[in-house]
Each structure stands twice: as C-alpha cells, then as structure tokens.
Structure 1
C-alpha cells in the first residue's frame, strides 16, 4: 500500500472592498493577514498607494 502525504500551503491573500460614491469618489477597505507585522503593514501600504494612483485619490495628510 502506498501512502501519500499532502501539505496545504496557504498563500497570502489580500482582499480589497472598493466602493464608488455618488460624486465619483472612491473608498476601500484592505484586509491582509500574516504573521510578520512589518510585512503586513508594508503590503497594506503598497496596496493603498496603488489604489490611490489608480483612482486618483489625493493623500489626506
């Protein structure tokens, strides 16, 4: 009898909930899970910057 072992690897998943407002404004929620806090924060920041460029949203700071 042959025994096979399988290892399930969970790939990093980033989720974005994008909403378009009545005046052509955009808002989003970014969800990303990981064990390394710095990596999570960096990835969320990268995605936020990419969405701001894509939808031409000005930085609020």
Structure 2
C-alpha cells in the first residue's frame, strides 16, 4: 500500500508524462517540432495542476 503523498506525486508525474506524449503526437500529426510542443503542453499542464492545488489548499480541500 502506498502512502497518499506518494500516490499524489506518482499521479502528477504520470499526468505530465502523458500530457507530453499527447503534445508530441499532436505536433507530429501537425508537422511541427515535437519536443517544443511536448514541453509546451507539459509546462501549461503543470501550471494548471499547481494552480488547482493552490486553490484547493486555500479552501481546505483534501483529495
């Protein structure tokens, strides 16, 4: 059994990995540079997760 903190980190890392993968796939389908697109999608996804987490902490939400 994994502690909840480790599960949260693992879930975030898996989400970022798949965001990067989908960004790369979309870039390849569109004929644009894959690394740049993957990093861009991953960055904005990480920012969205951080903002969501911060708002949850402000309102005392525990998930």
- Quick check: TM above 0.5? no
Richer in helix (by share): 2
Specify which structure has the bigger relative contact order, considering alpha-carbon pairs within 8 angstroms and separated by 6 or more residues.
2
Larger radius of gyration: 1
Richer in strand (by share): 1
Pick the TM interval, shorter chain. Answer: 0.3 to 0.5
